[in-house]
Amino acid sequence: MNLPGKITLVRLILVPGFIFFLYFGGWWGKFISFFLFLGASLSDALDGWLARRRGEVTNWGKIIDPLADKIMVYGALISLIPLGLCPFWLPILWMGRDFLLDGLRMELAGRGKILAASRWGKRKTLFQVGALYFAFLLLLLPPGTVWQKGIKIIYIFLLALATLLTLGSGIHYWIKAREELG
């Protein structure tokens, strides 16, 4: 396995870690959780950059990297539900979009066609992860402070924008897939 693949596996390993520390260890646990999530999300950029720079893009990497991203994002998002920072239906909406597109990708692959990632999908992931950073920051700030209130406004805005991008990019992919399917 090449270095980018190993980094992707580390990202997968970090997911249970940041979920565990989110619930255990009080404030310090949340602090550790934030940095584990930060490390996991930054590893996504690093493994992709290394794979392209070193000419080590593999079919295995093309499959496992987006899967690791989804596990990371959904793990964080679902973990925020009991903490009151995410409505229960939001992960269902985000995952539903991805399941639908994965089904379309499989159908196209069966016909020898590929539904490539677009910049809209990459922006969607960027805003999802950005919103999650602010959710973790909310957990680190004392409740009721001006800072916490400001971070919460930014978090809600980014979460709404990420949801719009999730739906919009889903529609974009759907249209592209329908054109390919004829």
Q: 164 vs 91, 154, 168, CA distance in Å?
A: 13, 15, 6
Residue 38 domain boundaries: 3-181
Binned average pLDDT, 10 residues per bin, the chain of 182 residues: 92 96 95 97 90 87 86 97 96 95 88 82 92 96 90 96 96 88 78
Q: What is the structure's pLDDT at 114?
A: 79
Q: How far apart are CA 33 and CA 140, in angstroms?
A: 10
Q: How far apart are CA 25 and CA 31, in angstroms?
A: 9
pTM: 0.90
Q: How far apart are CA 159 and CA 134, in angstroms?
A: 9
- The CATH number that applies at residue 37 is 1.20.120.1760
Q: What is the structure's pLDDT at 39?
A: 96
Q: How far apart are CA 41 and CA 12, in angstroms?
A: 10
Q: What is the structure's pLDDT at 157?
A: 97
Q: What is the structure's pLDDT at 180?
A: 81
Q: Are 56 and 4 in contact (CB under 8 A)?
A: yes
Report residue 32 as tokens: 């550790």
Number of domains in the chain: 1
